[in-house]
Structure 1
Amino acid sequence: MVRLLNLYTISAIVALGGALFGFEIASMSGIIGTRQYKQFFNNPIGIHQGIITSAMACGSFVGSLLSPFLADSRSRKVTIQIATILWCIGACLQSAASGVNMLIVGRSVAGLGIGLTSTVVPIYQSEIAPRQIRGRLVTLQGVALGSGLLIQYLIQYGCSFINSTASFRLPWAIQTLPAILLFIALFWLPRSPRWLAYQDRWDEALHVLAFLRSANCDINDPLVLAEYKEIEAQIMVERQNNSNSYHELVSKGLRTRLIIAMVIQGLTQLSGINFLMYFIVNILNSISNSNTVVASSILYTIGLIASIVVAIWTDQWGRRLSLLLGSIGMSLWMILAGVLFAIFGEENQVRNEAFTWVIIGRPVVSGFIQASMYLFELSYSLSWGPVSLMYPPEILPQRVRAKGVALAFATNWALNTVIGLAIPTLWRTIVWRIFIIFGSFSVASFLFVLLLVPETKQRTLEEMDEVFEHGGPLWRSFTDRGNHDRLDILAREIEMADTERFRRDLQWQLAGSRKDVLADTSKT
């Protein structure tokens, strides 16, 4: 009989934080083109719309930077609950907005919650997952993100027929529902076993591991004891180094990993994905597509289906190959759209619109550009979208994981803020060149991954030191199969021994080690 609360259902529940992320991205796309929104907020275009759009990303940047202090002290689970409260407050302020200023404040407060969830949810999922399906569990957040995008856009479309300000107030208010559901459900979910161990709550860590790894919650299961021992041994080593500060993140040992995590998150934004997500309606209008609702819905549906495919297969494909192929696809389709805009486009004769460059009377060209946007979304959702969520928490050690992941996602949100602020103006000034710029960044991302990003699939979090320090170039993946099966070998050794005695001896041994470490630390 399948247990109701297992790794998949736990990861799916916390992935509702990804749904909030999707709601955030789509929270403006279906509304900015409606008559009701333009009339009430005095038709914001250019920098004015940029400020409104980027307010949430700015709040998310701050939330990401604050996340490690809450995640390390209050636990990953409680931090996500705090984030849902902030999101609800922000959504209420948006739905009650009496003007642009209140709307910006509401989006900023909601952004604080998104910054916390986007950073902490993948950490939590990575820390509860076994290495064999870690990618699958983390990419459930991508599935939830795609679902949130599509659901919010359809809600906004349905409400656009309301001939009052409820057409945008109602969609913003509905955003509170998944947050409330997530807040309540988290009371039944376990804390991260690695966080518990780092807090010296060893017995709780062992029981949570047994709950997550054993069908009957057997704390004497050899695989449970093997992973428990590996976590404890890694924490002992980390404590002997006596450092978990930001200073260590930029030290020689971890600097490369931090840079990789931050650059991957930055290149995710520089691919142009949020240019597409935020302003797809404007792009479609500029190519004379009169049925923007159906066209936009197809885009979001492609993203959702692709994220489901990735969740199933990512642990077989691997991270590195996915990123390389994704970069090729994204650069190709973005540059193709820019070239078509440049050759067949013309100046928009209608003033005070969000776009100044249009394609008129060329349905075949418009169709190719629309198809390019779909194929770009497919390439992104099969590669950079999910991998950028799983890679940073995988490669950073426990003692600085929350801090390092926070800096990585803060990079994402900083660039998200800049893009959201600048795109409405750039879209009116440099027009088609913006596609070429984003496509060029995807070319750069291919070169970065080719030279500096190692493969991490099927590795435990405790094995990442060897992945990055095996002595060869990073592009040459670490393939020591004997070490790769270390957990299985240890589990077999435990199984051959008296597991009850092994567990008792292990706990006494670790208790003594902890006292020695604490004594040495107090002397220093």
Structure 2
Amino acid sequence: MSLAGNIYLISAVAVIGGGLFGFDISSMSAIIGTKNYLCYFHQGPAPLTEDDCKGPKPDVQGGITASMAGGSWLGALVSGFLSDIFGRKTSIMIGALIWIVGSVITCAAQNIAMLIVGRIINGFSVGICSAQVPVYIAELAPPSKRGRLIGAQQWAITWGIMIMFYISYGSSKVEGPAGFRIAWGLQMIPAILLFFGLMPLPESPRWLARKDRWEDCLAVLTLVHGKGDPNSPFVQREYEEIKEMCEFERRNADVTYLELLKPNMINRTHVGVFTQIWSQLTGMNVMMYYITYVFGMAGLTEDTLMISSSIQYVINVVMTVPALLWVDRWGRRMPLLIGAFFMMLWLFINAGLLASKGSPAPENRPIEAQSWEISGPPSKAVIACTYLFVASFACTWGPVSWIYPPELFPLRVRGKAVALATSSNWAFNFALGYFVPPAFVNIQWKTYILFAVFCAAMFIHVFFMFPETSGKTLEEVEGIFTDPDGIKYIGVPAWKTRVDFRRAALLEQTGLKDEEKMEPVHEAPANKE
């Protein structure tokens, strides 16, 4: 049995898998505007000087950027099978090894094709880790801490983005291809730490239960939740609930992805999938990948451009902290609604500023995607609204989009369900990564309008269709959709479900199972005779 039972330590190691995604984002965003990269991967007539280097064409650059998300889409889907067969922890370790292979190929890239292959392999790794890290943590964490612990994956992503950006910025000062090869080679370090760090950690007790390893399941619950006492009330309650759920699930057919489309599952499947789709359609990762394009349009150049871009990565790290501290009290619905509203606001303001105060960029511009320009005070307002947009995402959709999907599904389908939801994230990440550079060329400032409309749509969708899951055990969340134990959740509109943090904390302290001794999560009105 593993020696590491502290849930915070377990989460801190596991979320390094999220850091891999962050490393990949900024390893591209910090490099695509440097002379080293533009000259080495230049397409078109041979440049006379370094200033004539334009790098890959916009659609090719979109393909390079999107190739990682394409690999992630496939990796997320495959992770459902890996996780169910080998376990949550082992599947993440496999992802770490694949990342190392991809980083070696990317670092050694001799041309665009080789770079794309390396990024696809890196993406395959990120798809596995981003899908299964939330599942692993969700199945180990107690209800009152589950949100902050799963949300730590988003914090790890923000740290990865920031750290890799500064590494890439520093290495860009090195002359020649070494300027980007150093940064891409250093990407291997967090994967090595993740692989060896996971070795002493326990496997998910719920996965162990599915494999009929009941002694190991109880041992993990005792280690993580009971402080060594197998008779702890909370351990016993959790163990009994897992047994009941497993017995119920054994009466059902073997699980396939088609199970997620059945009438009793389609509602939560649509909610989980759209949580991840909307997180991409906010436009946040576009800001992460192509921020140097956006700030270049605002008139920033060279070191000023890079330093200003890095500020948003710092904001991203800092503003994720409030969500980690209070998301279990805030719940899931309220951050999603507030985040959608404010992101929509900043995007509309930016679109208005660019449309009214900006103008088309000259034809001989160094980077074709920087098709618009704005200067003076309006350009500073564009930069400020971009920072506010990042802050709005960081404390709302950023962490909650990872927290929410694992909470929605029962044990028998959780691995595949979260894999499907995460694969939707990567499918749209791929589409947007490929779409945005040509969009900046063709529709220019109207790109902001597009994402603002998406934010308005997601606000409406969340309000009417996304129920609150905070403060409930994973087995109790099942009651929102299937009404076990006679608790009347069915028919309660999503906007009437609520957070019950106090009840979750009481549950962990006492291990009570009698619902009458605790305030109910939500009960529908009694039927009138």
- Global fold match (TM > 0.5): yes
Please, which of 455, 461, 480 is the counterpart of residue 467 of structure 1?
Answer: 480
Give the CA deviation at 1:296. 1.1
2:240 maps to which residue?
Answer: 229
Please, which of 361, 373, 383 is the counterpart of residue 359 of structure 1?
Answer: 373
Give the CA deviation at 1:193. 0.4
What is the 5 A alignment of 1:177-196?
177-196=189-208
Distance across 2 between alignment mates of 1:218 and 1:285: 59
What is the 5 A alignment of 1:268-417?
268-290=279-301, 291-351=304-364, 353-360=367-374, 362-417=375-430
Aligned-partner residue type, residue 491 of structure 1: G
In structure 2, relative to structure 1, the CA distance for the partners of 1:447 and 1:129 (3 Å cut) is: same
Give the CA deviation at 1:354. 3.0
Q: Is contact 1:16–1:178 with CA below 8 Å preserved after alignment?
A: yes
Q: How many residues align?
A: 490
Distance across 2 between alignment mates of 1:292 and 1:486: 51
Aligned-partner residue type, residue 461 of structure 1: L
Please, which of 188, 198, 202 is the counterpart of residue 214 of structure 2?
Answer: 202
Distance across 1 between alignment mates of 2:155 and 2:116: 28
2:113 maps to which residue?
Answer: 101
Structure 2 residues without counterparts, runs of 5 or longer: 43-54, 483-488, 515-529
Select between 413-422 and 3-12 the one with higher mean Cα deviation. 3-12
Please, which of 165, 183, 186 is the counterpart of residue 153 of structure 1?
Answer: 165
1:437 aligns with 2:450: yes
TM-score by length of 1: 0.90
Distance across 2 between alignment mates of 1:483 and 1:276: 39
Give the CA deviation at 1:287. 0.9
In structure 2, relative to structure 1, the CA distance for the partners of 1:59 and 1:453 (3 Å cut) is: same
In structure 2, relative to structure 1, the CA distance for the partners of 1:483 and 1:237 (3 Å cut) is: farther
1:112 aligns with 2:124: yes
Q: Is contact 1:345–1:357 with CA below 8 Å preserved after alignment?
A: no
Q: Is contact 1:467–1:478 with CA below 8 Å preserved after alignment?
A: no
**Aligned partner of residue 173 in structure 2, secondary structure:** coil
Identify the structure with the greater helix proportion. 1
1:51 aligns with 2:63: yes
Give the CA deviation at 1:240. 1.7
1:425 aligns with 2:418: no
2:517 maps to which residue?
Answer: none
Q: State, as a whole percentage, how many aligned pairs show the same letter.
A: 39
Aligned-partner residue type, residue 273 of structure 2: M
Structure 1 residues without counterparts, runs of 5 or longer: 495-524
Distance across 2 between alignment mates of 1:326 and 1:366: 24
Q: Is contact 2:29–2:291 with CA below 8 Å preserved after alignment?
A: yes
**Aligned partner of residue 226 in structure 1, secondary structure:** helix
1:39 aligns with 2:39: yes
Q: Is contact 1:19–1:146 with CA below 8 Å preserved after alignment?
A: yes
In structure 2, relative to structure 1, the CA distance for the partners of 1:479 and 1:264 (3 Å cut) is: closer
1:257 maps to which residue?
Answer: 268
2:471 maps to which residue?
Answer: 458
1:131 maps to which residue?
Answer: 143
1:522 maps to which residue?
Answer: none
Distance across 2 between alignment mates of 1:36 and 1:421: 22
1:8 maps to which residue?
Answer: 8
Aligned-partner residue type, residue 496 of structure 2: R
1:513 maps to which residue?
Answer: none
Aligned-partner residue type, residue 58 of structure 1: G
Q: CA RMSD in A?
A: 1.9
**Aligned partner of residue 132 in structure 1, secondary structure:** coil
Please, which of 174, 177, 184 is the counterpart of residue 162 of structure 1?
Answer: 174
Offset from partner CA, 1:412-431 (integer Å, 9 cap, x none): 10011111111111111100
Aligned-partner residue type, residue 354 of structure 1: E
In structure 2, relative to structure 1, the CA distance for the partners of 1:486 and 1:199 (3 Å cut) is: farther
Offset from partner CA, 1:422-454 (integer Å, 9 cap, x none): 111111110000000001000000000000001
